[in-house]
Amino acid sequence: MRIATLLITVFSFFKTIPCSANASFPIQNLSRELYSSWLIAENHHSIDHGGSKITLFQQLNLTVNQQEKIEKIHRFYYPKIIKLKKQLTVIKEELTNMMSSTESATVIRIKHQEVLEIRQKLGKLQLETMLETREVLTLEQRQNFAELLRAKQP
């Protein structure tokens, strides 16, 4: 189930990659999108086809070797991504509290810079996850997965 989660997360990320290193990283959109992807994968990792459920792995025709490689990628990156997301949540809360306090504009700018730096680190980890997972899939599997994602969109 976690491999399906990682695949959906990774391919959902394609839409949110910034154009350049200096571009603003749209973390709000990414967070909602990733959260949706996690929920879909955790709760609906199979698709009902006339009473029989077919898993994402079956639809993509992943080999055991591919599944193991993707799981290894997930085990490596997932804890790091979660740690950064937790840090980001804490720092954003601190920033929000500062905005309604007597903190100086300089201190608020410094805290905002921390938010930006964590977002950038998070984006880099998610990109690396995506790229490594992409390398495991064949071109046909990548295309099939993109079609499955499009079919799930409302």
Q: Could you tell me which of 84, 80, 58 has the C-alpha nearest to residue 3?
A: 58
Q: What is the pLDDT of residues 37-82, one digit of tens each?
A: 433 343 334 444 444 446 777 788 899 999 899 889 989 999 999 9
Taking only the tens place, the pLDDT of each residue in 65-124 is: 998 998 899 899 999 999 999 999 999 999 999 999 999 999 999 999 999 999 999 999
Question: How far out from the chain centre does Cα 148 lie?
Answer: 17
What are the tens digits of pLDDT across the range 1-39? 455 555 555 554 443 333 333 333 333 334 444 433 433
Question: Which residues neighbour 142 within 8 Å (Cβ) at sequence distance 6 or greater?
Answer: 134
- The structure's pTM equals 0.62
**Buried-state track 60-87, b at ≥16 Cβ within 10 A, e below 16:** bebeeebeebbeebbeebbeebeebbee
> Angle at which helices 64-99 and 2-12 pack, to 10 degrees?
60
**Run of H or E including 146:** helix 139-152
Burial class (CB in 10 A: 0-12, 13-18, 19+), 9: buried
Tell me the chain's radius of gyration from C-alpha atoms.
Answer: 18
Dump the DSSP string for 44-89. Answer: --EEEETTEEEEHHHHHT--HHHHHHHHHHHHHHHHHHHHHHHHHH
Residue 55: strand pairing partners: 46
Q: Write out the two tokens for 144.
A: 């099939």
